[in-house]
Structure 1
């Protein structure tokens, strides 16, 4: 996935009010950028660290810049949570997700189910199999080579797990797919230290038959792409 707007490199001055970040560009200009990530952004909001912004001036937007990449220990991290779905769709089209690499899969995005909206409904043209998939973006790491999810309390994340469990109880195939938007991790673990209730709910979901998958990405100012499957540790 290539970025669809010109990029500007800079230095993070501060992130505040969750959705705002002050950045000094390489030119010396100071700008305020939209931060498109509501999570804790563990390791990704260090003042003085390198960042990459996209320049998107429009009369429909209050801010001309959007924060795209953060630097954590010299590793670029994709912080825009919504990119995870686009990355999954691109990977599905390329057959890059092992579970759905077989020819014949098609999909719909943003599917309403009861009181929830899940990210994908996949269907296989020959077998008639279906699978609902919920996608989560992962940016945090505090141990070398290990990505973490979540990095803050996520009630919404628990609701999605409950929706998947309800579908599984009806005999429907369901999966949770974690997209690690950084290239320095070779596995992912659930993080009960940030949200013990989410960790317990995920363990329960797995016991009830919800499939859990994770993929890792290569991330740079040139773009982001899914490149590998990752094992996940769900022990609480």
Structure 2
């Protein structure tokens, strides 16, 4: 996924009220940008990090700028706009870059499904085979040399795992697709120390036949694109 316009950079001062981040420019200007991320963003939004933001031409927006990327103390770029993960996954599937999801005629996004009033991120279909329901998760938490998901307790994520188990039990394909959006992460593991219930449900989903894959994206200020498959480790 290419950014529609060139991202600008500034220094991150602080994140607050979940969706707001204050940035500081070299010329001394301090301003507030919108942050599309509901997680804790542990290790992704520390004061002093370099930040990259986009600017909207929509005059009705309260905040014209959006936080897209940060750069940690080790120089790793991190895509903190979680909505981008779905776009990256969609483009990668269309391009045939996720081999396990090739061979479908149609691809759709945000389709209603399940027993808990959910929307699947990506639905793949073909007349000759069962539908494939793909739930996409953005991975940005790095602790030591290990990537984890989630970075906070997620009842929504738990719900999605229950929905995928139900889909699999109804003889459709169910896939959990982790998109690694942190250049420093090389494998993914359930964050049992953060959300024990999610880790338990992930193990249950795997035992029930839900397919679990992780693909790493290369994050740059111009583009975020899937480059390779990485391991999903058991807890």
Q: Which deviates the most, 69-78 or 24-33?
A: 24-33
Deviation string 1:83-128 (CA, Å, 9 cap, x unpaired) is: 11100111011110020234x4421111111321111111235x32
Question: Which stretch has the larger CA shift, 209-218 or 19-28?
Answer: 19-28
Q: In the alignment, what sits opposite 2:122?
A: 120
The C-alpha deviation readout for 1:119-145, integer Å capped at 9, x for no partner, is 1111235x323211111111110122x
Question: Match of 1:133, SS?
Answer: strand
Aligned partner of 2:3 in structure 1 is 3
Alignment: residue pair count: 232
> Alpha-carbon deviation of 1:158?
0.4
User: Is the contact between residue 41 and residue 140 of structure 2 (CA under 8 Å) also seen in structure 1?
Assistant: yes
Contact 1:149-1:191 at 8 Å conserved across structures: yes
Say if 2:138 and 2:181, in contact at 8 Å, map to a contact too.
yes
Listed one character per residue, the Cα deviations across residues 128-166 of structure 1 (whole Å, up to 9, x for unaligned) are 23211111111110122x211001000000000111111
TM-score (norm 1): 0.94
List runs of 5+ in structure 1 lacking aligned partners: none
The residue number in structure 2 matching 1:198 is: 198
Number of the residue aligned with 1:140? 141
CA contact (8 A) 1:188 1:233 kept: yes
- Alpha-carbon contact 1:57-1:65 (below 8 Å) kept: no
Find the aligned partners of 2:190 and 2:86 in 1 and give their Cα distance.
Answer: 20
Structure 2: any 5+ residue segments left out of the alignment?
none
Of 128-137 and 148-157, deviating more is: 128-137
Give me the whole-angstrom Cα distance separating, in 2, the residues matched to 1:6 and 1:214: 28
Structure 1 pair 26–3 and aligned structure 2 pair: CA distance change class (3 A)? farther
Q: 1:177 Cα deviation (Å)?
A: 0.4
The list of structure 1 runs, each at least 4 consecutive aligned residues, that deviate by more than 6 angstroms after superposition, is none
Change (3 A) 1:234 1:105: farther
Structure 1 position 40 matched with structure 2 position 40: yes
